[in-house]
Amino acid sequence: MSSIPANLRYAESHEWVLDNGDGTAIIGITDHAQQALGDVVFVELPEVGRALAVGDEFGVIESVKAASDLYAPVSGEVLEVNDTLEDAPETVNESPYEDGWIMKVRIDDASALDDLLDADAYQTVAAADE
């Protein structure tokens, strides 16, 4: 079973959200998602300044097996992207919850985090996926 940190919130589309507590959040893909993809070879990052609504496609992650769209788990403005992934996309495989983060956003509505899954609920989603 993949790692599912309890301090994060999750989307059914396998993105995680770390609430920074200051109106911003870090977003990436889950350990389960990176395992399902296999060796990541490319990550298309969103543009800084882009406004996203929940469910908007914000990028693509490609592996040796497949390409998968990335969807915004919360609405907000992209403040920063993880440029490291341009030269080292495999960081998503090696460290999906730390170094392999994808973007930082300013959240439009912090209460939207309550609409996301907690670790237990996400574990049920991930298990059904296997």
Residue 89: CA count within 13 A, CB half-sphere: 16
Query: How confident is the model over 55-113, as pLDDT tens digits?
Result: 999 999 999 999 999 999 999 999 999 999 999 999 999 999 999 999 999 999 999 99
Residue count of the chain? 130
Strand segments (E) across the chain = 9-10, 15-19, 24-29, 40-44, 51-52, 57-63, 67-71, 76-81, 103-107
CA dist 16 and 73 (Å) reads 8
pTM, entire model: 0.96
